[in-house]
Amino acid sequence: MRLSEMLPRLKLFALGGTNKLRRRMLGANTQALLVNSRNGLFLVDIEDLYVGRHLSAKGEYGLIEIQRLKQHVDWETNVLVVGAHIGTVAIPISQHCRSVTAIEANPRTFRLLRFNALANECSNLRVIQTAASDKKENLQFVMSRVNSGGSKRMPLTREYMYFFDSPETVTVGADRLDDLLNNERFDVVFMDIEGSEYFALGGMQKILSSAKVLFMEFVPHHLRNVSGVSVDQLLERISPHFSALFVPSKGITVSADQFGGVLQEMFDHEQSDDGIVFTK
């Protein structure tokens, strides 16, 4: 379920005092709960009613995307996860590849990611706290409370859906991943950064040139409101490196000359996908 679809329910939770009641029950000093899930052992933010809630109530999160990702990795594969959140993708996939480098911008979430990597004894997982961008800079960053995975750079258009839970705004450092990870090679890139894709891709052209696969969330309102770019502008930073696109929600695979048509149609009809897949 998309955030826009969940908004009425999440607003009810946020404004109805559910999290305040939970904090009173657990104590004011409780920051996270430990959950044993099919993804692994995770500390989750007690306010997070999306990823954290799925892990604690259903015992898993995003297993379909993880299974799809596993089809592209083996013990020789180096994986880059941009927007790792608390590690629900990076940690389980680390059990199936050579190495994982996990990038996370949200300082509160990064602490949980670091703890979770230790709790799951991920010796081949490296975690780095930064925002991925097309230049070295400091960003205003919105730390969502009810859906911490929806945290993002300050949107150009400040829609209510991004601010309904009174998120804290902080300044975070950002960097070009081509510079930060200079001369490192990644076979697979998995990206989930809530509208910052255009900027991140601009700063990782060298990484993309050698990557075999790019997994990326596609959300029209993120393109429009967060980064303020068109489908064509986004594809200018992707198309030179890949020749095929698989769209899971549509069950179709298209060649490079059809990238724009397929994604523009999805954009025009507000159709999102949790992870479109670009391949060489």
> What tens digit of pLDDT does each residue of 232-252 get?
999 999 999 999 999 999 999
Range 123-128 average pLDDT: 98
pLDDT at 74: 97
pLDDT at 71: 97
Range 54-82 average pLDDT: 96
The model's confidence at residue 149, banded by pLDDT at 50, 70 and 90, is very high
- Is 0.85 topped by the overall pTM? yes
pLDDT above 70 for 1: no
pLDDT at 273: 97
The interaxial angle of helices 18-26 and 3-15, nearest 10 deg, is 60
Summarised one tens digit per residue, pLDDT across range 76-121 is 999 999 999 999 999 999 999 999 999 999 999 999 999 999 999 9
- Give the chain's domains with CATH numbers: 3-279 (3.40.50.150)
The model's confidence at residue 30, banded by pLDDT at 50, 70 and 90, is confident
Per-position DSSP letters for the chain, written without gaps between them: --HHHHHHHHHHHHHTTHHHHHHHHH-TT--EEEEEETTEEEEEETT-SSHHHHHHHHS-S-HHHHHHHHTT--TT-EEEEES-TTSTTHHHHGGGSSEEEEEE--HHHHHHHHHHHHHTT-TTEEEEE-EE-SSSEEEEEEE-STTGGG-EEPPSS--GGGTTT--EEEEEEEE-HHHHTTT---SEEEE--TT-HHHHHHT-HHHHHH-SEEEEEE-HHIIIIII---HHHHHHTTGGG-SEEEETTTTEEEEGGGHHHHHHHHHHTT--EEEEEEE-
pLDDT above 50 for 131: yes
What is the overall mean pLDDT for the chain? 92
Summarised one tens digit per residue, pLDDT across range 154-171 is 999 999 999 999 999 999
